[in-house]
Structure 1
Amino acid sequence: MCQICCPSPSNSHDEIDCCLCGAPTTQAAFARIEADINRRAMLGGLAAVVGLYAGFGLASKPARAQTPGRPLLLTNLRYFNGNDLSLIQGREILIEGGRITGLPAAGQGPTDAERIDCGDRAVIPGLIDAHWHSTLVGVTQLQAMTADIGFVHLMAGREAGATLLRGFTTVRDTGGPAFGLKLAIDRGALPGPRILASGAMISQTSGHGDFRMTSELPRADGDLSYSERVGVVAIADGRAEVLRRTREQLMKGASQIKIMAGGGVTSLYDPLESLQFTEDEMRAAVEAAEDWGTYVCAHVYTPKGIQRALRAGVKSIEHGQLADLETVRLMRDMGAWWSIQPFLADEDSNPSSDPRQNAKRQEVSVGTVQAFEMGRTVGVNMAFGTDILMNPTGASSQGRQLAKLSRFMPPLEALRMATGAAGDLLALSGERSGYDGQLGVIAEGAMADLLVVESDPEAGLDWLDAPEQSLAMIVKGGAVVKDQL
């Protein structure tokens, strides 16, 4: 007899079997209680996680979305459409279901729309950073290589919200374990830009992505370094390994593939002029990417490295500041993209203390000015990126680095590199982008990513350095994520 359910009467020694623990109704009740306890535990755990994220500034903030069934109409404005180098007046911007569905003449928009008066301010497309490292920008190099990966991801989540509030509604992530962050943002778990992720950067042994110490050599079969295990890089040698590592990133959901085709500034062991990956190895990555309807972008600086990458079928040259005129013309003739950054060896440079790194940085800085001039003169497809890397204090310079392009070209031309042009580059990913809609433009059918700015974008871009004051409204996918109108 169950002494809990039915204890014997104190005045009797007779045992009465009144236990109903095994009865179906009792078991059903226990199941309901257990399910409720588990549900409360789960909710408590989720609350703790959300609380942790909120402590880092990651919890989703309320966004003023469209009223269900009602379109959103931005009125009393002038806008830059992302392509034409002038502001358009006399029109309004109609948003429905996260897209721009019309550009009616002023006063001709639907009467049932929810209206936002922009006060004659300028409206531009949401900005695109075509060379960003979502999970590697908010941590130092030591943290990226040694810290608990959970910490790295939390820092990435915090930085994602800050990126969006700087006006960058989309980024092309060119290396790092960003798939989880992308998924969390897409599902609305935390604020941030759209991410077109490359996954792990694919590097040869001794290449720009090989972060191992020389004491870790030689490598044994199956012996992965920390940076490989957590998805920062994938080291591959030979066609077969390059195919495997490329396909692994595609399996994880890569929008495009990133390879290291030459030496870099931040890496210590590879000379800047070194050629990395044979043409056949690069072609293996290109073939695997093309089989999935996407493309390969390549980190490379020098003419020989760029030319080898182009012959292998690479569609986007990352950096390339040491290119010569012949190579720039080849980029144009082959229809490749030049994803270029304002590397000027100034206060916004990624941190380094090694003399070898500083010497390489200075060499790239000298080439940067000439690269912008040649690219514009020859007519290469050019898109803006920052490549802020393992530089927590430098992340906030993202907009300021775009403003630096006005040193080389008129302000709206610079903005085009971070809007319409960058959107065309991202479109090379096709269905692998994960987003169905044109990016970087204000046009019918495009994604409704918009910035309402307090300054005149035709006059200059210095306002990009103070987004907290200069961006009166930020709209991503039709949802108002910031409103100071």
Structure 2
Amino acid sequence: MASRINRRGNAIGPVSACLCDKALAAFANRRISADLARRGFLIGMGASLLSAVLPEFSSAQQPGAAAPAQPTTFTNFRLFDGKSAALQDGMYLVVDGNRISQLRRGSPDAQNASGGRVIDCGGKVMMPGLIDMHWHSLLAALPIAAIMQSDLSFVYLAAGAEAQRTLLRGFTTIRDVGGPAFALKQAIDAGMLSGPRIYPCGAMITTTGGHGDFRLLTDVPRTSSQISEIERTGAAAIADSADEVRLRVREQFMMGATQIKIVGCGGVSTPRSPLDMLTFTEPQLRAAVETASDWGTYVLVHAYTPESVKRCVAAGAQCVEHGHLIDDRTAELLAKNGTWLSTQPFTSEEDVAPLAPSSREKFLEVTAGTDNMYKLAHKHGLKVAFGTDLIFSQALATRQGTMLGHMTRWYSNAEALRMATATNGQLLALAGERNPYPHKLGVLEEGAYADLLVVAGDPLQDMTLLANPDQNLNLIMKDGRVFKDALKA
């Protein structure tokens, strides 16, 4: 389900999945297309101010300015390393800077135990930070009505605050799969505010009339020199030839994209885009894939139906996003080509904000396909990644852990946790030369980034623990810095 935000970091769509309401989009574009491109630091500054004045961001949860100069040693924990099916006991872990320098059996030697902080985990479970492969980091904080009615600075404040809440839910990394989150990523990486690591796609690239074409009918027909407001603000990029596809892909890389999102079929909420319609031809899709390869990274394709999935596989795309309506032959094709299926466990209307009637009908079709999709993934041994796609509702955003719990309908707890950690980390690594975080993510091993959680309970036995992070996540570390520590209490 695609999102709509401009390159200045502003949300411009309705409260829905695969959102697209042209009137709201146009209004929001005019409302919030201010000059964040010239002042990208505003998000970071605003979020820092917000965390200073809102009581929910207590001092116990505030990040330090940098990773500790001295190593941090963790003892007395049970380890889920992101790969194993069972917990490991009798280990100690040392964090030096932003990476894990030691993970070994036994007790830390005197050199490790002196001169730095030692954290006794009290026998609790330690696991890697969670990864969400379908998140919209600038869309989850506010409903569209609040965006349209609030002062512009409040939108930036809310985006930064939601980034912190995302991190405090235990999601230390997200892949932003629609719209430029470039300024927010820069602010987080610079330490201006706390939040997850971000792999941004930039604007989704679509065709005229395809999902993501949010233009008013008065903008049609367009001329070769005409750029619509929706394109100018960076919410989407419209291309109708292979050369235009190459241009739009290169523009996203120029702005900092780590991978590219292409629209391959219709979307749930797009009024003039039925699910069964197809967008790019195979040669046009191949142009995107080849251009991304020239930049050392990959393309993910928004595709629900067998026809759209087959076309993107034939074009060489390495990742299909969604895929809820695939059939047996399509699943077999994905397996044969080693193509990733990055999808979301939509099970009911509780997993989406309110939709217009026509969009609701399409969403119910998608939801009805979820069970069959995961069964086919099991049957054919597909490489499956986990994401949530929760947008435009702060209440929905809190359900990231609940969505992960949905996975136990088709996978064991260990398999679901492995998917949301090590497996997702493998997909992120496809960013190759564009990967801003080149060391391992989603695993706890020597040399990996120090992104870890300490859980009050065993999620291998009870996945509902992660649906209540405020109570059950006792410690959250990202990049070697502690962002929450309830162990001290």
Which category of TM-score, normalised to the shorter sequence, fits these structures?
A: 0.7 to 0.9
Moved more, 192-201 or 70-79: 70-79
Alignment of 1:122-271 (within 5 A): 122-141=125-144, 151-271=154-274
CA distance in 1, matches of 2:154, 2:336: 45
CA apart distance, 1:290: 0.3
Aligned to 1:71: 71
Match of 1:335 among 338, 344, 358: 338
Alignment of 1:242-391 (within 5 A): 242-352=245-355, 354-391=356-393
Contact preservation (8 Å) 1:343, 1:368: yes
CA apart distance, 1:319: 0.5
CA apart distance, 1:127: 0.3
Aligned to 1:41: none
Moved more, 111-120 or 408-417: 111-120
Aligned to 1:81: 81
CA apart distance, 1:197: 0.4
Q: Which letter does structure 2 place at the counterpart of 1:81?
A: D
Change (3 A) 1:290 1:385: same
Alignment of 1:461-480 (within 5 A): 461-480=463-482
Instruction: Say whether residues 1:450 and 2:452 are aligned partners.
Output: yes
Q: Deviations over 1:253-302 (max 9, x none)?
A: 11000010011112111111111111111111111100010000011101
CA distance in 2, matches of 1:99, 1:307: 40
Q: Deviations over 1:73-106 (max 9, x none)?
A: 1110111111121111111111111111111213
Change (3 A) 1:251 1:64: closer
Q: Which letter does structure 2 place at the counterpart of 1:420?
A: A
Change (3 A) 1:268 1:288: same
The higher radius of gyration belongs to 1
Unaligned runs of 5+ residues in structure 2 are 1-43
Contact preservation (8 Å) 2:173, 2:196: yes
Q: Which letter does structure 2 place at the counterpart of 1:455?
A: G
CA distance in 1, matches of 2:460, 2:47: 44
Moved more, 134-143 or 320-329: 134-143
Q: Secondary structure at the match of 1:212?
A: coil
Change (3 A) 1:227 1:362: same
**Identity, % of aligned pairs?**
46
Contact preservation (8 Å) 1:75, 1:106: no
Change (3 A) 1:47 1:95: closer
Match of 1:430 among 429, 432, 436: 432
CA distance in 2, matches of 1:152, 1:283: 37
Change (3 A) 1:153 1:176: farther
Aligned to 2:95: 95
CA apart distance, 1:142: 6.1
Moved more, 246-255 or 86-95: 86-95
Change (3 A) 1:401 1:267: same
CA apart distance, 1:126: 0.3
CA distance in 1, matches of 2:141, 2:334: 33
Q: Which letter does structure 2 place at the counterpart of 1:80?
A: F
CA distance in 2, matches of 1:325, 1:52: 49
CA distance in 2, matches of 1:182, 1:236: 26
CA distance in 2, matches of 1:87, 1:162: 28
Contact preservation (8 Å) 2:133, 2:175: yes
Q: TM-score, normalised by structure 1?
A: 0.85
CA distance in 2, matches of 1:201, 1:48: 26
Change (3 A) 1:148 1:379: farther
Unaligned runs of 5+ residues in structure 1 are 1-45
Q: Secondary structure at the match of 2:132?
A: strand
Change (3 A) 1:208 1:223: same
Q: Which letter does structure 2 place at the counterpart of 1:89?
A: D
CA distance in 1, matches of 2:332, 2:83: 23
CA apart distance, 1:393: 2.9
CA apart distance, 1:49: 8.5
CA apart distance, 1:377: 2.3
Q: Which letter does structure 2 place at the counterpart of 1:460?
A: D
CA distance in 1, matches of 2:258, 2:411: 30
Alignment of 1:6-25 (within 5 A): none
Q: Which letter does structure 2 place at the counterpart of 1:357?
A: S
Q: Secondary structure at the match of 2:292?
A: helix
CA apart distance, 1:348: 2.2
Instruction: Say whether residues 1:482 and 2:484 are aligned partners.
Output: yes
Q: Deviations over 1:232-261 (max 9, x none)?
A: 211111111111110000111110000100
Q: Secondary structure at the match of 1:104?
A: strand
CA apart distance, 1:65: 6.0
Q: Secondary structure at the match of 1:84?
A: coil
Larger RCO: 1 or 2 (CA < 8 Å, sep 6+)? 2
Q: TM-score, normalised by structure 2?
A: 0.85
Q: Number of matched residues?
A: 438
Aligned to 1:13: none
CA distance in 2, matches of 1:222, 1:189: 39
CA distance in 1, matches of 2:297, 2:77: 37
Moved more, 184-193 or 326-335: 326-335
Match of 2:49 among 37, 48, 51: 51
CA apart distance, 1:114: 2.3
CA distance in 2, matches of 1:286, 1:227: 24
Contact preservation (8 Å) 1:294, 1:429: yes
Change (3 A) 1:454 1:298: same
Q: Which letter does structure 1 place at the counterpart of 2:399?
A: S
Contact preservation (8 Å) 2:303, 2:309: yes
